[in-house]
Structure 1
């Protein structure tokens, strides 16, 4: 797909004529810089209290940006959506309407296909995480995995298949899917359906299986809700989701620390954590805006370099995933706003909660790095920093993978 993305014929708006495309090429190149300037100027004008001028600038951005153009045009289009919602004071309503929009399994599978084909992040993360868990539970007869943020459960089919391939009898597997309730009349419907799909899949491989659901905000999960049994080997898994609870800049009793304290109280054999490495969680609007531009410019550049512009799955990812995140970052505040931290900040937070970091297998990392180099775009990078495995694009770190265990007192 990234070979197709590199051709001019593919990376063009299918509605544009060849003549118009050629005549507007130089103009589009200049607009790459202009979009950044216009966006920052619009945000600064809003922050200074001049809403009429900010609306004029927003109109200029909207006229020239497009969800079908190049990386800068698409980024500007979705940033403009966020600024429009902030100027109108409707950020919360717009964001909640996007969150409550029903995501079909079909659409999610299409987006997942794109992730697997174009980006190594999900595939490498699931592979490293699953293999690390398998190494930890190799002698266990009963295994309980608590998955904070199970969503559609895409991580677990390959894990179950690997579990069934072991030469000895597979252990009894219990997965507790923990997920934020859906904002409708069926708060657990999606995660219940995830369990039904996993149970159907497991039947093919003869692995004894149980599935339970906990629908709650992560910081509201109680130990007694999880029904931990003494003869189980417990693993806690949280991929890309631990930034969902708020931090101490929003509320005095930090929900993020509360989640970590609960996990520490459970005393798992291992805690697997993959964090979004972001710097746009600052409490001040302009600082957050600048950092969001820096982060998401890299994201949209990655999309533009690895997937054709008219690709339906790419448009789905940009419209349904990144639009929602940008609306949140730009137009929401308080408990609603996404506030990621850097992996180094997470390291301090997790150590403070009473964990010690474990090493990730050098052999696994070596194989993963070789796979990325062989099958994916040359600008994806995998690095190590201490005991962290880092994944990113052109030197920009998007995710940090780490494993932990409770410290002994």
Structure 2
């Protein structure tokens, strides 16, 4: 296969209103960007078929790039859907829940995702209104661009370039895309503002996809294992992220409160599939020590199931044992270390008859979305332990679509919210921030954008897909209590930018977002004892 060369960044500089080559029609691209199907011109008919699939049925052999449906002629109906995009920034609230609301108009600077939105609008207006190679500003949202500061305008232009490059990659016009990517890299930077950082990593991912498509190179097994393990272990960078960003602590306090409310015995067995530092269990131990004066706890047992860094997991157990001793709580710690979570069996857990089992699964099931049979097996093994409650915290995003463009746009807005959060909550030169962005997120972005089929192991699905999957396995969702919601809101008050973190109910669960973009979900489950699986 022929390789594609990337011009040096900064070479052949052109004005921002360059002619986008090879872009005759754009309907499919913008339908993915703003959620409108090519056949539907109604702004209020947002349907995402990928989100309606269960995990099990979303895995058949994916369309290759060569076989993807060709874009239909561009339609001005795509412009109309821009009017509905603000719904992401103003989620409807449920009665009785006090939400943190993000109001974009009240902020002096644009969020990253507002810049992404404007970049999409600018790209649409450029394609739809260009005349003789020049874009005329007839788009109804054009006035918004004129009010931007100089650096915000540059950021919007950078997003425009990135979207144009992604469109050409989807069309396999790799030479044109390589030129656009090089123009992105002239301004993008892994150490710049959040938009520049975001575009840098997505441009790198597009380069990776072009390289793989033109050379046939595959992801190595070692890279897969590294990425999988990075999501299931604790590092100084992930610990700093836990302390500096509100998401982890909000999910932990809401989930731990749900466990406390559903475990009523004095012998408690906690099964944690992603224990990391274990700090979440110090919260539970403190709460139990304060609430059980009349009925002392006889035993708190934690079984940590891990697939990465056995030594750190053992050290975690020692720290938890020391903490429990300081509270005079009877405590036991067991470690089930596996090479793969698919090998988990209920007989690996030391369970006594009078123990009340609670399961805590924090962003761990997502690592098995690409292997639905293994995920089925894991859940059914958990079921045999007869837990009284299972708390599930997951990433609230759709990174599982067989469509490259859909995944690209979904990932761009999802990571855009994270990069925005980093900008507010951590210093730009913080080495932990650089590690999270460059290694943890950078690897994930590359895998979402550049890989296909079994090689694409960074997969996430939204809460409704998880609900369909769990329901199929005979699980019933428990409503998170008002107290769980209160605990989550209380945590946000401890963060300087906590008001930018959104909390809102979704059915019986909780969605945690940043400035209107969903980031995580927390749900609570029990198994239906009347069903036989």
Query: Whole-Å Cα distance in 2 between the matches of residues 225 and 334 of structure 1?
Result: 32
State whether residues 95 and 324 of structure 1, in contact with CA within 8 Å, keep that contact through their aligned partners in structure 2: no
The answer as to 2:507 corresponding to 1:386 is: yes
Q: Which of 190, 194, 207 in structure 1 is aligned with 2:312?
A: 190
With over 3 angstroms needed to count, the CA separation of the structure-2 counterparts of 1:41 and 1:111, relative to structure 1, is same
The answer as to 2:410 corresponding to 1:291 is: yes
For 1:3-402, list aligned pairs within 5 A: 28-89=151-212, 92-93=219-220, 95-96=223-224, 99=227, 108-109=235-236, 111-117=238-244, 119-138=245-264, 140-165=265-290, 166-167=292-293, 168-181=295-308, 188-216=310-338, 217-247=340-370, 254-335=373-454, 336-372=456-492, 375-377=495-497, 378-402=499-523
Residue 289 of structure 1: how far off its partner (Å): 1.0
Which segment is superposed worse, 341-350 or 375-384?
375-384
Which segment is superposed worse, 39-48 or 289-298?
39-48
Residue 244 of structure 1: how far off its partner (Å): 0.8
State whether residues 254 and 487 of structure 2, in contact with CA within 8 Å, keep that contact through their aligned partners in structure 1: no
Which segment is superposed worse, 60-69 or 254-263?
254-263
State whether residues 85 and 91 of structure 1, in contact with CA within 8 Å, keep that contact through their aligned partners in structure 2: no
State whether residues 243 and 256 of structure 1, in contact with CA within 8 Å, keep that contact through their aligned partners in structure 2: no
With over 3 angstroms needed to count, the CA separation of the structure-2 counterparts of 1:371 and 1:226, relative to structure 1, is closer
State whether residues 257 and 487 of structure 2, in contact with CA within 8 Å, keep that contact through their aligned partners in structure 1: no
Query: Whole-Å Cα distance in 1 between the matches of residues 442 and 175 of structure 2?
Result: 24
State whether residues 91 and 327 of structure 1, in contact with CA within 8 Å, keep that contact through their aligned partners in structure 2: no
Give ranges in structure 1 of 5+ residues lacking alignment.
1-5, 9-24, 183-187
Give ranges in structure 2 of 5+ residues lacking alignment.
1-106, 110-147
Query: Whole-Å Cα distance in 2 between the matches of residues 258 and 100 of structure 1?
Result: 19
With over 3 angstroms needed to count, the CA separation of the structure-2 counterparts of 1:85 and 1:180, relative to structure 1, is farther
Residue 96 of structure 1: how far off its partner (Å): 4.3
RMSD between superposed Cα atoms in Å = 3.0
Query: Whole-Å Cα distance in 1 between the matches of residues 272 and 180 of structure 2?
Result: 44
User: Could you give the per-residue CA deviations for residues 189-244 of structure 1, whole angstroms, max 9, x where no partner exists?
Assistant: 33223223323333322222222222333333112222332221111110122211
Q: How many residues of Structure 1 are paired with residues of Structure 2 in the alignment? A: 375
Helix, strand or coil at the partner of 1:144: strand
With over 3 angstroms needed to count, the CA separation of the structure-2 counterparts of 1:236 and 1:97, relative to structure 1, is closer
User: Could you give the per-residue CA deviations for residues 356-407 of structure 1, whole angstroms, max 9, x where no partner exists?
Assistant: 1112221331353255257442221111122111110122111111111111
Aligned residue number for residue 21 of structure 1: none
With over 3 angstroms needed to count, the CA separation of the structure-2 counterparts of 1:132 and 1:324, relative to structure 1, is same
With over 3 angstroms needed to count, the CA separation of the structure-2 counterparts of 1:173 and 1:82, relative to structure 1, is same
Query: Whole-Å Cα distance in 1 between the matches of residues 230 and 364 of structure 2?
Result: 20
With over 3 angstroms needed to count, the CA separation of the structure-2 counterparts of 1:206 and 1:333, relative to structure 1, is farther
Aligned residue number for residue 11 of structure 1: none
Residue 75 of structure 1: how far off its partner (Å): 0.2
Residue 91 of structure 1: how far off its partner (Å): 6.6
Residue 127 of structure 1: how far off its partner (Å): 1.4
State whether residues 95 and 328 of structure 1, in contact with CA within 8 Å, keep that contact through their aligned partners in structure 2: no
Query: Whole-Å Cα distance in 2 between the matches of residues 178 and 44 of structure 1?
Result: 42
State whether residues 510 and 521 of structure 2, in contact with CA within 8 Å, keep that contact through their aligned partners in structure 1: yes
Helix, strand or coil at the partner of 1:155: helix
Please tell me whether Structure 1 or Structure 2 has the larger radius of gyration of its CA atoms: 2
TM norm structure 1: 0.81
State whether residues 263 and 356 of structure 2, in contact with CA within 8 Å, keep that contact through their aligned partners in structure 1: yes
User: Could you give the per-residue CA deviations for residues 106-150 of structure 1, whole angstroms, max 9, x where no partner exists?
Assistant: x83454344334x32222211122222223234x23221111122
Which segment is superposed worse, 66-75 or 108-117?
108-117
TM norm structure 2: 0.64
Query: Whole-Å Cα distance in 2 between the matches of residues 175 and 110 of structure 1?
Result: 25
State whether residues 414 and 518 of structure 2, in contact with CA within 8 Å, keep that contact through their aligned partners in structure 1: no
Query: Whole-Å Cα distance in 1 between the matches of residues 421 and 514 of structure 2?
Result: 7
State whether residues 268 and 355 of structure 2, in contact with CA within 8 Å, keep that contact through their aligned partners in structure 1: yes
Helix, strand or coil at the partner of 1:243: helix
With over 3 angstroms needed to count, the CA separation of the structure-2 counterparts of 1:279 and 1:97, relative to structure 1, is closer
Query: Whole-Å Cα distance in 2 between the matches of residues 244 and 137 of structure 1?
Result: 28
Residue 151 of structure 1: how far off its partner (Å): 2.5
Query: Whole-Å Cα distance in 1 between the matches of residues 491 and 282 of structure 2?
Result: 20
Which segment is superposed worse, 335-344 or 210-219?
210-219
Query: Whole-Å Cα distance in 1 between the matches of residues 237 and 478 of structure 2?
Result: 35
Which segment is superposed worse, 290-299 or 92-101?
92-101
